[in-house]
Amino acid sequence: MNSTFFDADLARIISYVTFDGHLSKNLSHFYLSSADWQALKDFEALVKNKFDLKSSYAKGTGFGTSFKCRFNSVRVSRLLFEAGAPKGDKMLCVFRVPRWIKENRAFSRAYLATAFQCEGWISKKSNAYSFSVGFKVFKSEELLDGGIAFVEDLKEMLRTFGVATSRTWLQPGNLRKDGKTTAALSFLIRTKSLPAFEREVDFGCDAVKNSLLRKVAETHSVAPLGYKNALWFNDFRFDAEKQPEKWRVEIPVQLNANLAKLLAYVMRYGNVIRNGKQFYVVSSSEKLLRDFAGVIEEEFGLRVPYATKTGARSYRCLVCSRAIVSWLLSQGLPFGKRALRSCGVPEWVKNNEAYYNAFSSV
């Protein structure tokens, strides 16, 4: 398969087959089973345009009225399997999101939108005018580790679009006819990330879910009360429509003066939190905080959305990234404010005049 074979349409087909569809174990055929006629027609069009195959329709299985859009082709079935679609009973095999999808932004968006179209949901909370957006898949209990790893792939992909998620929790599933027990793996989209989810991912071609999602996103697009006086929150929202060139956190290959400044900011004004995921800087200087956030975006490709007000004049700029925290620790920075204030300057900073001058200028 050449590189042009892999595209967003193929990512959507793989997603359809992975969630509401099926790829036969002997690779003789594949199909989508759904009660949503629009989804069936969308799947049919994708496969026809990509592989020039004719479909057949039959009554579906499971609860309620559903239909199958089926394609009989050994050649295409093998291609889908080689591209990463799981074959056979998906609850009884381990699979991950294909790497070629995870490593491409457009392919990731296409795969996620179809996944949420099939297995995602949006519902009103019972105690407030607020909505939940979530995702649920089932896995055999004996293969839960593999199921959790697959769900983590999805959550990692969502993070690259600025969409935060809850922890993954397990719920009782069903007792199958073959005697195996399944469990449900679920997670939610964080409320603050609903606008980003609507803008970047959504529910694919599900018009009903998307219509409700747009209303929910508009409700939550206003800055939360706690961020009313936050620095550059509005700037971030204005720029969020533009895709940054760097959308995945990347660790710098070479040390430089900018990184020396970052160490100084954290050591003198901040803290590395012991959870290993977060660090921050506190200051009353907007210029200092903006420069701190700018260094992180320039060197690591991570945009910091805001600095929250913590006092009459001070703001805290919090950064959430396990990868960047690991880098800080590798440079000799310890956890805790007291330890940071008393730790020594790294040797690579002291031994380079330009780096040391940048460090000392903070």
pLDDT of residue 126: 62
Other Cβ atoms closer than 10 A to 197: 26
- Mean confidence (pLDDT) of the chain: 88
Can you give the pTM of this predicted structure? 0.64
Per-residue pLDDT tens digits for 181-203: 889 999 999 988 899 999 999 99
Whether pLDDT at 269 is above 80: yes
Residue type, 181: T
Per-residue pLDDT tens digits for 107-132: 999 999 999 999 999 988 765 557 88
d(Cα 320, Cα 343) in Å, to the nearest integer? 23
Residue type, 262: L
Whether pLDDT at 279 is above 70: yes
The percent of residues above 90 in pLDDT, for the chain, comes to 67
d(Cα 218, Cα 212) in Å, to the nearest integer? 10
pLDDT of residue 192: 82
Per-residue pLDDT tens digits for 335-352: 999 999 999 999 999 999
Instruction: Quickly state the pLDDT bin for 240 (edges 50, 70, 90).
Output: very low
Parallel/antiparallel/unpaired status of strands 131-140 and 120-124 = antiparallel
Cα dist. 228→196, 217, 306 in Å? 19, 18, 11
pLDDT of residue 63: 65
The percent of residues above 70 in pLDDT, for the chain, comes to 89
Residue type, 332: G
d(Cα 188, Cα 171) in Å, to the nearest integer? 14
Whether pLDDT at 38 is above 60: yes
Q: Quick one: average pLDDT of 244-269?
A: 84
Q: Name the packing angle between helices 37-51 and 74-82 (round to 10°).
A: 100
Position with higher pLDDT, 223 vs 102: 102
Residue (of 176, 112, 164) closest to 320 by Cα position? 164
Is the domain spanning 257-360 CATH 2.20.25.190? The answer is no
Ranking 198-202, 214-218, 237-241 by mean pLDDT, the lowest is 237-241
End-to-end alpha carbon distance in the chain? 53
Instruction: Quickly state the pLDDT bin for 222 (edges 50, 70, 90).
Output: low
Q: Report the CATH architecture of 1-88.
A: Roll (3.10)
HSE-up of residue 157 (Cα within 13 Å, Cβ side): 28
For the chain, give every residue range classified as CATH 3.10.28.10.
1-88, 91-222, 257-360
Residues 6+ apart with CB under 8 A from 193: 162, 163, 164, 165
DSSP structure class, residue 165? B
Q: Quick one: average pLDDT of 290-304?
A: 89
pLDDT of residue 114: 98
d(Cα 170, Cα 111) in Å, to the nearest integer? 23
Query: Helices H, strands E: what count in the chain?
Result: 15, 12
- CATH fold of 91-222: Endonuclease I-creI (3.10.28)
Parallel/antiparallel/unpaired status of strands 21-23 and 67-72 = unpaired
Instruction: Quickly state the pLDDT bin for 221 (edges 50, 70, 90).
Output: low
- Top mean-pLDDT range of 55-64, 287-296, 297-306: 287-296
pLDDT of residue 306: 81
The three-state secondary structure class of 57 is: strand
Position with higher pLDDT, 239 vs 115: 115
